[in-house]
Amino acid sequence: MLELAIIGGGPAGLSAGLYATRGGLKEVVMFEKGMPGGQITSSSEMENYPGVAEVKSGFDFMMPWQEQCFRFGLKHEMAEVVRVKRKENHFVVVLSNQKEVEAKSVIVATGGSPKRSGVKGEDVYWGKGVSSCATCDGFFYKNKEVAVLGGGDTAVEESIYLAKICSKVTLIHRRNAFRASPVTLERAKNEAKIEFLTPYGIEEICGNDSGVTGLKLKNLEEETIKEIKVDGIFVLIGFNVNNSVLMQEDGSAICATNEYGQAIVNLKMETNIPGLFVAGDLRIDAPKQVVCAAADGATAALGAIEYIEHHK
């Protein structure tokens, strides 16, 4: 039986692997369905990890993480996990090839992904002017004009954040009413650099070899078309968490989750099921940053070491 199974090999999973193996756990396996590294490997520029002064691609940034873990004995199994089940006082990790692996404790770090709008040009310019993360990429648009798509708390809050960096923020939302909280909306309305465009949809994200240059917008009431020039567009229309491994055959989740399917954890990344930890973007209130996911992974691994020590 494994001492620890880690599911997901992004920043949270790899960091958990490092701390668990260096912390003395034996038989630690990280199950990752693809190449380790996680979401950030799809980013062309990463410049906000403390201590890393050089701007690197997400892929280059993550490469040393796995090498470092493997040096301390972390094993990587390239496999998709279907679910984690409880069995007596341990866990069973069910793989997509039907194999079942038993483990004393489990850290689930399967992350998630930002929702895409599907508008024309979004895929073409993703990472070249289209972004899903203002904290990550806002600084690249210092003193430039950007747009934000969405009408929830994330879109409105991030518009306020971007207004501190950019020269203008156009907030585009498909309805006149916003899901964002009235207080947040009021703050955005009081911000001179934010222009609201509602009810508008994006017909096309336009650009050239250098990236995004503008947007073709449609007024959804009047059906009129308007074009605006922007250097970047932030698509902030929600986030999908990869929580399928938590789901049991009867449709319930193995541990407590909130209405968005995010796992409810405490400050030690413990779920309400002893021995089961969740780290990174899958947990409640995740700041969705590499540094935070890595910290979660380390915290969860320390918790797993403590758990195993007390359940010998």
Q: How far is the CB of 15 from ligand FAD (least distance, A)?
A: 8
Count of residues of this chain found to bind ligand NAP when the rule CB under 6 A is applied: 15
Could you tell me which stretch among 136-144, 146-154, 190-198, 284-292 binds ligand NAP (CB under 6 A)? 146-154
Nearest residue relative to ligand NAP (C-beta): 152
Partner touching 117 among ligand FAD, ligand NAP, none, CB below 5 to 8 Å by kind:
ligand NAP
Does 112 interact with ligand NAP (rule: CB under 6 A)? no
Q: How far is the CB of 80 from ligand FAD (least distance, A)?
A: 4
CA distance 172 to 176: 10
Does 216 interact with ligand NAP (rule: CB under 6 A)? no
206 a catalytic residue: no
Taking the least distance from each CB to ligand FAD, the nearer of 30 and 171 is 30
Interface map 72-111 toward ligand NAP (x if CB under 6 A): ----------------------------------------
Among 187, 238, 284, 306, binds ligand NAP (CB under 6 A): 238
Q: How far is the CB of 271 from ligand NAP (least distance, A)?
A: 20
Among 40, 194, 206, 237, binds ligand NAP (CB under 6 A): 237
Among 56, 75, 179, 193, binds ligand NAP (CB under 6 A): 179
Q: How far is the CB of 221 from ligand FAD (least distance, A)?
A: 33
Secondary structure of the chain in HEC code, one letter for each residue: CEEEEEECCCHHHHHHHHHHHHCCCCCEEEEECCCCCCHHHHCCCECCCCCCCCCECHHHHHHHHHHHHHHCCCEEEECCEEEEEEECCEEEEEECCCCEEEEEEEEECCCEEECCCCCECCCCCECCCEECCHHHHHHHHCCCEEEEECCCHHHHHHHHHHHCCCCEEEEECCCCCCCCCHHHHHHHHCCCCEEEECCEEEEEEEEECCEEEEEEEEECCCCCEEEEECCEEEECCCEEECCHHHECCCCCECCCECCCCCECCCCCCECCCCCEEECHHHECCCCCCHHHHHHHHHHHHHHHHHHHHHCC
Does 155 interact with ligand NAP (rule: CB under 6 A)? yes
Active-site residue list: 133, 136-137
Residues that bind ligand NAP (CB under 6 A): 117, 149-155, 157, 174-175, 179, 237-239
